[in-house]
Amino acid sequence: MMSLRIVFLGSDPIALPALDWLAGEGSAIGEVVAVATQPDRPAGRGQAVQANGIKRWALERGLPVHQPEKLGESDVAWLAARQADVALVMAYGHILREAFIGTPRLGTLNLHASLLPGYRGASPIQTAVAGGERITGVSLMRIVRKLDAGPVADRESVTVGPLDTALDIESKLAAAGVPLLARALPKLAQGALTFTDQDEARATYCRRLVKEDGDLDFSAPASTLAARINGLFPWPCCSVEMKGQPVKLGLADVAGHAAGGAPGTVAGADADGLLVATGEGTLRLRKLQRPGGRMLPAAEFLRGFPIPAGEKIPSRPMSILVKSIPFRS
């Protein structure tokens, strides 16, 4: 079996485990011959312009790196010059032109971080966790012009635990891309990889998240609120007002005991967190952060910022994160 020539397109560290596998154990199946990634951007506290992790990975291995601000005709020519068998995409961040998609001999494939057809769009990891899903995964699909609608060759599932945040699930999904590629790439090289059309009736869509998505309405069930808090950590991060100060929430779950009072009323604390009454059940806030401070376990946070029982946390309307039709851009 010949080794596939792969051009990789990605801009987020979620792709690094797959790249590491391709450079190591998977090198007999596929060789990454070039990488395309987003241009260097300001990052960190000092906002210095920095290369992302995908570019650094490529440079460490002496691979050519292509960083267009927007894909055009010259980028199709660049891809053609690489003589790629397949272009492999994961969290790239650019819309691909039809001519670009069709340039590699075996087409352009995408590792999408959801179990398609669910959670097509820009924030599948966060939105799946925020939506209370207990299983999500990675799908290997053929790219078409319609948003994440291409036929799917294979999927790899991961479980979402009650205390998993979007950051935790991103790590699980990053690892899940490896067995998916290990199964699929040999079949692709042999011409035996089959694709199945997605069920459009089951498609759901998510969008780019904004800061306002971190608002919470305590009249919702505790399970809904806990999932939202965990799913939106670390960005945009849910936040509430406590004693007149904005407080970020980093982890939550549903407490087993009932709390009295109107939704948003603090009912006290247990060994694991601050207890808050909701429209259904008791929400336990396990990690909290004051302005200028660190995200702390609730017990440590409350030692420096006590919240008495009976304190009322204001509610704010919660935005819609998922639809059965695409969001308008």
CATH number, position 102: 3.40.50.170
pLDDT tier for residue 323 given thresholds of 50, 70 and 90: very high
| 168 and 84 part of one domain | yes
CA distances (Å), 114 to each of 7, 123, 141, 169, 237, in order?
22, 9, 11, 11, 21
| 218 and 188 part of one domain | no
pLDDT tier for residue 47 given thresholds of 50, 70 and 90: confident
Is 118 domain-assigned?
Answer: no
Q: Tell me the C-alpha distance between 42 and 3, whole Å.
A: 37
Task: Return the higher-pLDDT residue of 257 and 87.
Answer: 87
Note whether 226 and 253 are within 8 A (CB): yes
pLDDT at 237 over 70: yes
pLDDT tier for residue 1 given thresholds of 50, 70 and 90: low
| 174 and 253 part of one domain | no
Token code pair at residue 52: 């992302």
Is 318 domain-assigned?
Answer: no
Q: Provide the residue range defining the domain that includes 225.
A: 211-304
| 12 and 147 part of one domain | yes
Token code pair at residue 164: 């998993």
Measured from the Cβ of residue 213, the count of other Cβ atoms closer than 10 Å reads 23
Region 219-229 average pLDDT: 98
> What phi, psi does 6 have (nearest 5°)?
-115, 130
| 186 and 254 part of one domain | no
| 38 and 175 part of one domain | yes
Q: Tell me the C-alpha distance between 217 and 315, whole Å.
A: 4
Domain count, the chain: 2
| 188 and 217 part of one domain | no
Q: What is the DSSP letter of 70?
A: S
Instruction: Detail the DSSP E strand segments found in 265-323.
Output: 266-269, 274-277, 282-289, 296-297
Token code pair at residue 209: 């998240």
Per residue in 65-123, pLDDT tens? 999 998 889 999 999 999 999 999 999 988 899 999 999 999 999 999 999 999 999 99
pLDDT tier for residue 260 given thresholds of 50, 70 and 90: confident
Predicted confidence at residue 176, as pLDDT, reads 98
Give me the chain's average pLDDT, please: 96
Predicted confidence at residue 296, as pLDDT, reads 98
pLDDT at 46 over 90: no
> What phi, psi does 218 have (nearest 5°)?
-75, 0
Region 35-49 average pLDDT: 89
Predicted confidence at residue 138, as pLDDT, reads 98
Note whether 286 and 323 are within 8 A (CB): no
Q: What are residue 48's DSSP bridge partners?
A: 43
